[in-house]
Amino acid sequence: MRVRMLTAVASALTLVLSGCSGGGTGSTDGKVTLRFQSLAWQKESVDANKELVKEWNASHPGIQVQYVQGSWDSVHDQLLTSFEGGEAPDIIHDASDDLADFAYGGYLADLSELLPQRLMSDIPQRSWETTTFGKGIYGVPFLQEPRVLIANKKVLDASGVRLPTDRRPWSWEEFREVTRTLTARMGKGKYGIAWPLKEPVSATLNLGVSAGGQLFHRGDDGRVTVEFTDGDAVVPGTIHAQVNTDKSASRTTLGSGGSDTLPGFFGGKYAMVPLGFSYRQQIVQQAPEGFEWTVLPAPAGPEGPAQGVSPQTLSVAEDSPYKKEAAQFIDFMLRPENTVRLAKGDWMLPTGTRALADPALHTEKDGWATGAALARDLRSAPAQSVRGYPEWKDKVATPALQEYYSGAIDTGELKKRLVRDGNLVLARYQR
């Protein structure tokens, strides 16, 4: 018995030791190997990424790319540790709102001189602004998604309200009135809208751009301060009124994530749900047979249907010895025809103008056309390059907005917290 146990332990250790080997970036036999960490997670998206890597490897025998699967859930901590340990992937997939600290920390390569003119000129300046920190460009923004209203078509058609278009979206006042009308028509226990506001900050800030909301103001000295103007109050004020005054928005979904609202939406409990454009994939998968839904543009304000976005990005690690090769791979990945494949896989919109013009992204089916029409009005999220934003968001803005939307505090208190407490946080990052 004892001998058998010892044999088992020895076998296990042998197995373990045989599994030890290094890996990663390197050059063997004159061949460069790059590690590309992708955060693609939906099947079509993973497939598209892997196929593109395969095509690149087939046509570039001297520069091989290894596909590494990362995850959105943990990418920041994982990258931070990898950067500190000098083991970061060569090519990094992330979102632009996660890049500021990495860029200022010197972990990401400035791509200004590495990217070809074709790519630089194909992506609009407003998109480049999302990855420009100081004088450098630290990522290529390639996919983005506006927030849209996913609506129950039958309920909306029956209500008689005017349906918004990308040319003539609802104003925020009209939107409030529409949700009141829908709620009244739908009957008890049903609501015109359900706001999934588990993460209230980005939704509030990005939609607020349409009403002239900016919240973060950069002075001549480069320092950022928080100010709460009338424009900043429009979106939170509308939501607060829908929940607490009009009762046209469900109170129970305030703490929910987007996916959590879908059963109620499918069940006819809510007429509309504001969600990211890519949620359409879940709706296609999960909607019951015969359920008719449509995609409507989010309400607009004096600034038109503008919205803040944080596009998905591809960056290169500063420590990578093969920055030029990594930039070549990014250029290949983001050729218009390839970007279209990535966009379709992720149910998102490309930033590149040539890819965005592809007819496949303008079909009426599944609301592609509505989203594509909104793309021209997407711009950098207000908090994009603000150092200390993550702490402000977690410690100040999230609890303050949650309390405000639930009716626990009023607008004055919300303003006081966002501005006074927020500036204390930001000041620590700007000494």
Partner 1 sequence: MTALRTSRSGRTGQYLALLCYLVFLAFPFLWLISTAFKPARELGSLHPTWIPEDPTLDNFRQAFDEQPLLRAAGNSLVAALAAAVVAVVIATPMAYVMARNRSKLSAAATGWVVVSQAFPFVLVIIPLFLILKNLHLINSLFGLIMVYVVWSLPFALWMLVGYVRAVPRELEEAAAVDGAGRARTLLSVTAPLLAPGIVATALFAFITAWNEFFFALVMLKTPEKQTLPVVLTHFLGAEGVADLGPLAAAAFLATIPSLAIFAIIQKRITGGMLAGAVKS
Residue 282 or 423: which CB sits closer to partner 1?
Answer: 282
CB of 199 to partner 1, least distance (A): 6
Q: How far is the CB of 21 from partner 1 (least distance, A)?
A: 7
Nearest CB to partner 1, comparing residues 6 and 427 = 6
Shortest reach from residue 163's CB to partner 1, in Å:
24
Token pair, residue 363, equals: 């079909």
Alpha carbon distances (Å) from 180 to 191, 293, 343: 8, 20, 35
Beta bridge partners of 37: 68, 92
DSSP secondary-structure letter at 396? I
| Least distance in angstroms from the C-beta of 281 to partner 1 | 9
Burial class (CB in 10 A: 0-12, 13-18, 19+), 219: exposed
Minimum separation from the CB atom of position 171 to partner 1 (A) = 27
> At closest approach, how far in Å is the CB of 291 from partner 1?
9
- Rank residues 81 and 165 by Cβ distance to partner 1 and give the closer one: 81
Q: Which is nearer to partner 1, 154 or 335 (CB)?
A: 154
Q: Bridge partners of 304?
A: 301
Q: Mind giving me the DSSP string for 47-69? A: HHHHHHHHHHHHH-TTEEEEEEE
Place of tokens 């079909």: 363
Cβ atoms within 10 Å of 393's Cβ, excluding its own:
21
Strands 31-38 vs 378-380: parallel, antiparallel or unpaired: unpaired
Query: How far apart, in Å, are the Cα atoms of 352 and each of 54, 355, 410?
Result: 23, 5, 42
Kindly tell me the sign of the dihedral angle through the C-alpha atoms of 308, 339, 114, 388: positive
Residues found near partner 1 in the complex (CB under 8 A): 9, 12-13, 15-17, 19-24, 35, 39, 41-43, 46, 66-69, 71-74, 77-78, 81-82, 84-87, 89, 95, 198-199, 257-259, 262-264, 266-267, 269, 276, 278-279, 282, 285-289
Q: Pick between residue 147 and residue 415 the one whose CB is nearest to partner 1.
A: 147
Question: Around Cβ 128, how many Cβ atoms within 10 Å?
Answer: 19
Q: How far is the CB of 65 from partner 1 (least distance, A)?
A: 13
Of 77 and 337, which CB lies nearer to partner 1 in the complex structure?
77
The residue (of 10 and 357) whose beta carbon lies closer to partner 1 is: 10
Number of Cβ within a 10 Å radius of residue 156: 22
